[in-house]
Structure 1
């Protein structure tokens, strides 16, 4: 079958489903809306133009229907585009207040909307700002309070001083987009407050739903074990704040994280359980409803109970989305229309994106609709293939049902694979196996037990019995899942495909299920190889690199630099870390960038000194990358922090040799490249960790670079004799541009062309210092900073240097 015939087979089902095509166009417009300039000022003109065009359609004699339909589709697509831009502007309407300011302090009144989430220092809440001196409108915010866990509950009204900031994104490829994530939750600002500045001024009267919710939550905590209670609360109440990071990682890499959210799987099974229960309750009264089909009574009642349950758990977006999909399906049955699952799915998607325009950027929205759409499109093709290969399998009823369940699991895992790899940076085949056992357990055993505990909540002993039985069973399954994960986690492949690669993967997936040629064996082998190769391509081509690349990674207020050597070897200098935060900067920011570049191991890791903003990221990098050698300055922090002890333990666990280096240590050499330590000196009398930083000189042919860590004036003075008369094409500014470093005498000692500055945007230290910036701008032809330029990448063949940033591109040629 030629390619155009294959595409015709694919497009034919869509051509008879205009709503499906319309939905795809609306989603595409919404995806592109935030990447394009704002067209909101032209919205009135656009409405006027539509009015004229619709008026014109009444005067057409020919093709009136086609013209009107095309105009209607265009209107929906345009409204989707404008609504997304409008909603984003509404969420971030405080831009004018923040103009020229890093933060704004104000006395405000907050209403707590969700339960506390535990942080390393205090808690965070989703809260609504009711009144504020600096802001006129009410809005939602992420409120961080330095207080004990669980002190405030939903409904509490607080008053006190808070500091408001705009959320910043790490401007690196494959990094987590925190501002966009908050926007999907209607949050555009962050608020920080200390416990002593806040006071509770009102405790709102809780509804019967809230009282039952809190009582059921406390009953689960008292009845279930510490291991199973957080999962049971997530399944029954949608409360995921208490889930441990280790549990989330195991469930995620096993491909069963979807069972922890109240989404389509849960809502569907809850609907079936309630329908069965209502049907049993109505059975004694069957004689009264002889003229009415039973499903017409059962379906609306079960659907109503489902929506009551959704309201009870706080209406999380995933459950509301599933409820809308279920409602569309039930409504279609009542209208006596022939059920078309793709059209029903498209209808529910349109409803959701017009009510919550930014939900199109929500990962759970994308995964749920992709999985369901993939099952609808690809599962019949897969079953047809199996039945053609094994004709007798359909004759065995239970065997065929088992085959259908396995195929459904495989198709859902395969369809979600590219998006999971893009968002979570791993590919796991474990999901196919684990879903075969875990999903039936959760759906047919654990969920009915929890629903029974919920239904019989007024009967305490009966409810507790169901909870204890559920907890006991869940502990055994968790133990088995943990053992399975420990023995198979080596099968998890880490990668970070680009958006273009994800599009290519889905195109290959379409061609896989819709054959291009008649020889199906060759067809499946070719596209299976192509699908796998797209994931592996960055790692394959990285070994053929012929130039030296240096990247200053945007890690916020911290330091991290990656050096990619010709031939594929890599060196990482520092790994960042956000002071006072448990955010894993190594796993969430640095590792995705390395995977995107095709790096799976580090030949050398260099820690300039043991400060938190340079060292903490290594904790989460060590389990993910093979590190051959670890350089450090040899000076342990005093007193030793828990983070430093943890880093040493991780290095020992992964058998990474620690080598303390100083000015007399041997250079790291690879072909025509040398990385030589210039400091610290072998004297053991340093007042601070900053002055003990490892300073290195990198040379590749005619290009020289100087990396200075966080050295201050004392160490700079000792380095001046070593640097006098030298020329450095690239100079990494010390200590994030602080006034304690980059003294004029030090800068005068050598010649330089490009200065690189690693500093967090809007940091609390107000770095870089203005005086230091003036010195740097006088000294160097160009100064780049991660606060304004994001990721800074330099590529050199040993003669010329090209600098690329997240925002602009420069071509610089050094003359020697």
Structure 2
């Protein structure tokens, strides 16, 4: 069966990773030749790639069409059922909602933060909003952003509107919220995999340690549930046949309880197949795992693109291939081995999706896998069962609180060592295929107990990935940070300069989750193996230009922070100085370094500020940058007044690339200024559907009149320009061609 699974996978990979598919095809041919398998298996291996490739090609087109349609028509309205207790974070509500026979996570910004609508489970209301994908993938989950709730239309009918499982979940939530537990959301997460009741900080910490899989339902959870059920029923002298029937009944229900979490279903399907299929029909556990993979991806094709699903199967594959070693190893040493094997198994998925390897997880899992498996998860299962009795058990509450205190102490202690980041640059198809081969080679030598060879190859892999694939270039990137500014300049020698960090204006009481850094800045840094910034210029202290600074300073080393100190209070400057001292960096007044050189770039920090103005936009640092024969001008949020001062005090050259001031608002980029600098390319950073309707049409008209090619994040997302290329070549990826002939 495993050979057929490999053939099935080859057909899928041929659609997305052809080099990898060819590599696995050659491996399959070699195995079939060496094993001398039956003709029927060979025929199956020839047919299955065609079937799986055709099936997923059809599914891909179907999902792409739905994705395109949704982007064009994101509006959604109708009668919605709120299926759980809404979580309130000060300015918004979030939870789960069912509308038009579909279920979504929702987010609703409160129009009056102190007035919370009574959206109890089972409440039905008329709502309006928009559906948005969480990423650029058509397979990613959709999120419902509710814009309006007609409270006059609401009514509550729990029995009619909620399923039995939803009612039970709400019963558990009500029961657990009246206990003395300090972290009730952790019990819910451990039992159901629902992390929505955890704080952002809790989720971030376990992710940074590489142990997030322990709070998301996975194979270890299913194994413990099966073990507890089996031991309990066996203790009650229940015959084995009825124990198996009980598991076949309980596991699908538990799968529904986890909202059909892909990693949970992988384990559930595998256990059910083991129970249902007699052992004489399969030769190895790999056959069962392979069968579950085929069944699940045929029933739920979108699972194939779920990261947890990919982690689950690849790690399971590596562990099963290591069985000859693990079977003859004492339990403590076996745990050490399995942690290392799991790290190897997760390496490829981490490199592809996150461009980062959580190396610290190798050590964290040694501590937390037994801690969760032996203590926390059994405690959570017992506590979950006890809640049904509605009998307070304060002693158990205090014991669980104590265990979580120990947990948090260890987490904080290990996090001290997590400052070293192992970023994996973006790997092409060939390098990904070679990486897969190297990982299997490491596994082969490890299972053969050739540990020195394993160590040498592992160190070699680290050094190669750290230095070889990083493609440094002279380029400018306008990061897609929405309604804000963040620009990255890189040199061919790997030096970096950033101008502003982006950020968002927070509503009163709103907590910044730093989604801009997490999803729009750091992913680009990781792909390019940027672990530090040589220079970071903050043009002025507005949230949309420096809101992400604090968070970035926890993730990236900044050597020199350049700003206008007249725009900050002494307390703000002290805070920034302290944050920089962690990296042994320093804060510099831009007036102290009017000129700055790095590699082939020459920078002039122009002082056209109006420091006495109450408008902080008029405090902006303006940066004139020269790269070879190209001139770049970054205006920040400078106003017309700053532009007038700039033209009076400096003799500006014709500008090749202009960062248009203040996101294209009409109080910047005056006709006189644009006529004076005559920009050939104009970059505008603004958010989609922003409330200011930027860029302003008047500004675009001025730029068009000067025959300037306009690129915006609104239309193009993140934009990277190759500064070594001619202007015409630079613009080709966006199918924009400069109206004027280049003088280069």
Aligned mate of 1:164, from 111, 120, 130? 130
Q: Distance in 2 between matches of 1:809 and 1:574?
A: 26
Q: Distance in 2 between matches of 1:418 and 1:373?
A: 13
Q: Which residue of 1 aligns with 2:277?
A: 332
Q: Which residue of 2 aligns with 1:363?
A: 307
8 Å CA contact 1:548, 1:566 repeated in 2? yes
Q: Which residue of 1 aligns with 2:546?
A: 615
**SS of equivalent residue, structure 1 residue 451:** helix
**SS of equivalent residue, structure 2 residue 631:** strand
**SS of equivalent residue, structure 2 residue 722:** strand
**SS of equivalent residue, structure 2 residue 504:** coil
CA distance 1:81–1:467, change in 2 (3 Å) = farther
**Residue 399 of structure 2 corresponds to residue 474 of structure 1:** no
8 Å CA contact 2:263, 2:309 repeated in 1? yes
The alpha carbon displacement at 1:83 in A equals 2.6
**Residue 226 of structure 2 corresponds to residue 300 of structure 1:** no
Aligned mate of 1:786, from 713, 720, 744? 713
CA distance 1:356–1:764, change in 2 (3 Å) = farther
Q: Distance in 1 between matches of 2:466 and 2:396?
A: 47
Pairing 1:596-611 to 2, within 5 Å after superposition? 596-611=527-542
Q: Distance in 2 between matches of 1:336 and 1:649?
A: 67
Q: Distance in 2 between matches of 1:645 and 1:312?
A: 50
**Residue 520 of structure 2 corresponds to residue 589 of structure 1:** yes
Q: Which residue of 2 aligns with 1:772?
A: 699
Pairing 1:686-705 to 2, within 5 Å after superposition? 686-705=613-632
8 Å CA contact 2:9, 2:49 repeated in 1? no
CA deviation profile, 1:223-255 (whole Å, cap 9, x unmatched): 3542x4332221123331132333323322322
8 Å CA contact 1:608, 1:633 repeated in 2? yes
The alpha carbon displacement at 1:468 in A equals 3.9
**SS of equivalent residue, structure 1 residue 415:** helix
The alpha carbon displacement at 1:502 in A equals 4.2
Pairing 1:560-599 to 2, within 5 Å after superposition? 560-580=486-506, 582-599=513-530
**SS of equivalent residue, structure 1 residue 143:** strand
Q: Which residue of 2 aligns with 1:311?
A: 256
TM-score for both structures, normalised by structure 2? 0.85
Q: Distance in 1 between matches of 2:194 and 2:451?
A: 47
**Residue 583 of structure 2 corresponds to residue 676 of structure 1:** no
The alpha carbon displacement at 1:280 in A equals 1.2
Q: Distance in 2 between matches of 1:766 and 1:740?
A: 14
8 Å CA contact 1:759, 1:767 repeated in 2? yes
Q: Which residue of 1 aligns with 2:317?
A: 373
The alpha carbon displacement at 1:563 in A equals 1.4
Q: Distance in 1 between matches of 2:615 and 2:628?
A: 35
CA deviation profile, 1:754-810 (whole Å, cap 9, x unmatched): 222222233333222223222212314522222223332233359888526875698
8 Å CA contact 2:336, 2:366 repeated in 1? yes
8 Å CA contact 2:123, 2:158 repeated in 1? yes
Q: Which residue of 2 aligns with 1:171?
A: none
8 Å CA contact 2:125, 2:154 repeated in 1? yes
Aligned mate of 1:144, from 83, 99, 107? 107
Q: Distance in 1 between matches of 2:213 and 2:505?
A: 32
CA distance 1:684–1:448, change in 2 (3 Å) = closer
CA distance 1:19–1:565, change in 2 (3 Å) = closer
8 Å CA contact 2:671, 2:702 repeated in 1? yes
Pairing 1:224-239 to 2, within 5 Å after superposition? 224-226=180-182, 228-239=183-194
Q: Distance in 2 between matches of 1:645 and 1:159?
A: 50
**Residue 360 of structure 2 corresponds to residue 406 of structure 1:** no
The alpha carbon displacement at 1:302 in A equals 2.5
CA deviation profile, 1:606-627 (whole Å, cap 9, x unmatched): 1111222111121211122221
8 Å CA contact 1:564, 1:571 repeated in 2? yes
Q: Which residue of 2 aligns with 1:17?
A: 2
Q: How many residues align?
A: 710
CA deviation profile, 1:62-99 (whole Å, cap 9, x unmatched): x999768744652343123213432453466445546x
8 Å CA contact 2:611, 2:619 repeated in 1? no
The alpha carbon displacement at 1:154 in A equals 4.0
CA distance 1:209–1:550, change in 2 (3 Å) = closer
CA deviation profile, 1:554-574 (whole Å, cap 9, x unmatched): 222211111123533211001
**Residue 126 of structure 2 corresponds to residue 126 of structure 1:** no
Q: Which has the higher contact order (CA 8 A, sep 6+)?
A: 1
The alpha carbon displacement at 1:696 in A equals 1.1
8 Å CA contact 2:181, 2:400 repeated in 1? no
CA distance 1:686–1:498, change in 2 (3 Å) = farther
CA deviation profile, 1:316-358 (whole Å, cap 9, x unmatched): 343233222221222223x752353222112212222222221
Pairing 1:217-228 to 2, within 5 Å after superposition? 217-226=173-182, 228=183
Pairing 1:198-597 to 2, within 5 Å after superposition? 200-205=154-159, 206=162, 209-226=165-182, 228-282=183-237, 294-333=239-278, 336-380=280-324, 382-383=325-326, 394=328, 400-461=330-391, 465-486=395-416, 488-490=417-419, 492-498=421-427, 500=429, 501-514=431-444, 523-524=453-454, 527-537=457-467, 548-580=474-506, 582-597=513-528
CA deviation profile, 1:358-383 (whole Å, cap 9, x unmatched): 12111111111111112112443x55
Q: Runs of 5+ in structure 1 lacking a partner?
A: 1-15, 34-62, 99-103, 131-137, 168-176, 284-293, 385-393
8 Å CA contact 2:355, 2:527 repeated in 1? no
**Residue 603 of structure 2 corresponds to residue 666 of structure 1:** no
Q: Distance in 2 between matches of 1:165 and 1:716?
A: 41
8 Å CA contact 2:121, 2:170 repeated in 1? no
8 Å CA contact 1:353, 1:359 repeated in 2? yes
The alpha carbon displacement at 1:669 in A equals 2.4
TM-score for both structures, normalised by structure 1? 0.78
Q: Distance in 1 between matches of 2:420 and 2:486?
A: 29
Q: Distance in 1 between matches of 2:109 and 2:71?
A: 26
**Farther off after superposition, 684-693 or 268-277:** 684-693
Q: Which residue of 2 aligns with 1:4?
A: none
8 Å CA contact 1:146, 1:195 repeated in 2? no
The alpha carbon displacement at 1:647 in A equals 6.0
Q: Distance in 1 between matches of 2:425 and 2:150?
A: 43
**SS of equivalent residue, structure 2 residue 410:** helix
The alpha carbon displacement at 1:697 in A equals 0.6
8 Å CA contact 1:128, 1:141 repeated in 2? yes
CA distance 1:295–1:140, change in 2 (3 Å) = closer
The alpha carbon displacement at 1:146 in A equals 2.3
Q: Distance in 1 between matches of 2:152 and 2:109?
A: 10
**SS of equivalent residue, structure 2 residue 440:** helix
Q: Which residue of 2 aligns with 1:625?
A: 556
Q: Distance in 2 between matches of 1:708 and 1:595?
A: 27
**Residue 743 of structure 2 corresponds to residue 815 of structure 1:** yes
The alpha carbon displacement at 1:582 in A equals 3.2
Q: Distance in 1 between matches of 2:725 and 2:170?
A: 65
**Residue 132 of structure 2 corresponds to residue 178 of structure 1:** no
8 Å CA contact 1:22, 1:77 repeated in 2? no
8 Å CA contact 2:644, 2:673 repeated in 1? yes
CA deviation profile, 1:35-54 (whole Å, cap 9, x unmatched): xxxxxxxxxxxxxxxxxxxx
8 Å CA contact 2:538, 2:545 repeated in 1? yes
